[in-house]
Structure 1
Amino acid sequence: MPNVRAWFLLLLLSPSLGAAELLRLVADPWPPFNDHTLPNNGVASDLVVQALTRAGYRTRYVEVPWERAVLGLKRGEHDVLINAWYSQERTYFGHFSQPYLFNRIRFLQRKGAGIDFDQLADLYPYRIAVVRGYAYNPAFDHDENLRRVGVSGFEIAARMLHAGRVQLALEDELVVRYHLARELAPLRDELELLPKPLSENGLHILVRLSHPHHREITRRFDEAIQAMQADGSYEETLRRHGMAP
């Protein structure tokens, strides 16, 4: 008869036989990419959880405001921030994956305001609502002549724009269209996007550097995303969320 105690100890000590590692995921509410009211918490959350599950991890997902999400990652309260744009500053506390989605960042103005954007200097006369802590674009983020007004989320930015407290708001194009079709619908005919985008930003997961396996997690995640793209499950996920190319 086998030694049951020895077998049980082997089960506990062996990574291949024990439970998969749990990763604590965090995002800020950012529909249609992340939001607990959406199917599978939004398209970005859905893709990330699928990929990490394929990579052999268990996951637990929470949503908090952006600044709290970043602070929690720095403090080790979360393992993976799942909706991060790249910035050099964030490499000091996190390790980026390859981009798994892309965001088109555009300005919103009051309809008929006549603001022209070709270069950043064109924006110097205007107050621009931005979400505190977001990394939109290095040139935009560090231009000291721009009059940025920090807010906690896009809905507040849009309402400030409508009220004339700012002249522009900045956000991902799909996020703008999502909100203007729902809770901001009364403002839809009074706001409009400027034609030229500020930038196109890759969306990454960001794994805390203090995690002992941060490089392995991002490597396995990237491989899983590639496998999903190859077998069609990536495109099927986008289609399920109404975002198929």
Structure 2
Amino acid sequence: MPRLHRALALVGLLLLSHHACAQKLRLVADAWPPFTDSTLINGGLATDIVTTALARAGYASDFEQVPWARAMLGISEGRYDVLINAWYAQERTHVGQFSAEYLLNRVRFIKRKDAAIEFDNLQQLYAFPVAVVRGYAYAKAFDEDGQMQKVPVHNFAMAVRMVAADRVKLTLEDEYVARYYLARESPKVRNAVEFLPKPLSENSLHILVSLKTPEHERIVAGFDREIAAMKADGSYQRLLKAHGM
């Protein structure tokens, strides 16, 4: 009997080990600091929040950083389980299941502190040159407005330096992204600019779990439950603070 017990125990351990391996989720995202970037602490703010919530829900995970198109293709084909940083789009529901919102992206205008500029609608800004990053989508209304004086630049750092130097009157960026890069600017630039109060647009950030992943509904439910619990127990806010937000 002792041998039988040992054999059964060994089988049980093997089954548990197999189950644990089966529950290891393959996470993917593109490089989008401060949200997702393999060079940042714990892969960035969004990666840290997502992996923490999934771990609390009982899922181990591996993270791979690839270009956006490859990440989306991998989710649709089932080569990845979880896309970390997805804005909601109806067409994406055909390849994955969205979680509830776990972060909110606000695109906001940035001006010099001494500039008397107000923003309630785009028409108020027609007189002001606005530095925009080439190829970047900000918000449909802004992107398609032909009366805005858009000045193309290579990146946000160049745009905000132009605002600080009064070479353009405005730029715009997701607030988290802007704060991340402003923290790395010189005090002369950082202290010369400020956000306009009203955001241009808001987009909720979600995980997208591949429909080809077994138990994708349970994964989303567990993630949503743990995000709510993290907000309640203060650990969510501590992660924001740890990433300088």
The answer on 1:226 being equivalent to 2:236 is: no
| TM value normalised by structure 1 | 0.72
Question: How far did 1:217 drift?
Answer: 1.0
C-alpha offsets along residues 19-78 of structure 1, whole Å, 9 cap, x if unaligned? 451111122333332232332222221111111111111111122343443333234332
- The residue aligned with 1:175 is 177
C-alpha offsets along residues 104-143 of structure 1, whole Å, 9 cap, x if unaligned? 2213468888876433566789777468686x656667x5
The answer on 1:32 being equivalent to 2:31 is: no
The answer as to whether partners of 1:158 and 1:169 remain within 8 angstroms in 2 is: no
Range 229-238 or range 20-29, more displaced? 229-238
Instruction: Read off the aligned partner of 1:156 and give its amino acid letter.
Output: N
State the alpha-carbon separation in 2 of the partners of residues 128 and 138 from structure 1: 17
Identity over aligned pairs, percent: 50
**Alignment RMSD (CA, Å):** 4.1
| TM value normalised by structure 2 | 0.72
The answer on 1:42 being equivalent to 2:41 is: no
The answer as to whether partners of 2:76 and 2:95 remain within 8 angstroms in 1 is: yes
- Say which of 78, 81, 100 aligns to 1:79: 81
Structure 1 regions of 5+ residues with no counterpart? none
Q: Give the number of equivalent residue pairs.
A: 238
State the alpha-carbon separation in 2 of the partners of residues 99 and 173 from structure 1: 17
- The residue aligned with 1:159 is 158
The answer as to whether partners of 1:124 and 1:145 remain within 8 angstroms in 2 is: no
State the alpha-carbon separation in 1 of the partners of residues 220 and 45 from structure 2: 19
Range 196-205 or range 2-11, more displaced? 2-11
State the alpha-carbon separation in 1 of the partners of residues 179 and 10 from structure 2: 54
Is the radius of gyration larger for structure 1 or structure 2?
2
Instruction: Read off the aligned partner of 1:31 and give its amino acid letter.
Output: P
User: 2:106 aligns to what SS in structure 1?
Assistant: strand
| Shift in alpha-carbon separation, 1:87–1:137, aligned structure 2, 3 A | farther
Q: How is 1:83-162 mapped onto 2 (pairs within 5 angstroms)?
A: 83-108=85-110, 117-120=119-122, 129=132, 156-159=155-158
C-alpha offsets along residues 79-99 of structure 1, whole Å, 9 cap, x if unaligned? 211122222232222211111
The answer on 1:216 being equivalent to 2:215 is: no
- The residue aligned with 2:208 is 206
The answer as to whether partners of 1:25 and 1:80 remain within 8 angstroms in 2 is: yes
| Shift in alpha-carbon separation, 1:53–1:133, aligned structure 2, 3 A | farther
| Shift in alpha-carbon separation, 1:210–1:167, aligned structure 2, 3 A | farther
State the alpha-carbon separation in 1 of the partners of residues 16 and 195 from structure 2: 55
State the alpha-carbon separation in 1 of the partners of residues 154 and 192 from structure 2: 15
Structure 2 regions of 5+ residues with no counterpart? none
